[in-house]
Amino acid sequence: MHTIREKQRLLDRVRRIRGQVEAIERALETEAGCETVMHQIAGVRGAIAGLMAEVIDDHVHSHLVDIEKHPGALNSAAAEELMAVIRAYLK
**Tens-digit pLDDT profile for residues 3-12:** 566 888 999 9
Q: Where are the domains of the chain?
A: 2-90
Phi, psi dihedrals of residue 70, rounded to the nearest 5° = -135, 85
Using an 8 Å Cβ cutoff, are 2 and 62 in contact?
yes
Residue 22 is inside which H or E element, if any?
helix 7-29
Mean pLDDT of 37-50: 96
Distance, CA of 11 to CA of 8 (rounded, Å) = 5
Mean pLDDT of 65-70: 68
More confident residue, 51 or 67: 51
Assess whether pLDDT exceeds 60 at residue 1.
no
Name the nearest CA neighbour of 1 among 51, 62, 67, 76.
62
Domain with residues 2-90, CATH architecture? Up-down Bundle (1.20)
Assess whether pLDDT exceeds 70 at residue 86.
yes
Q: How many residues does the chain have?
A: 91
pLDDT band at 83 (very low <50, low <70, confident <90, very high): confident
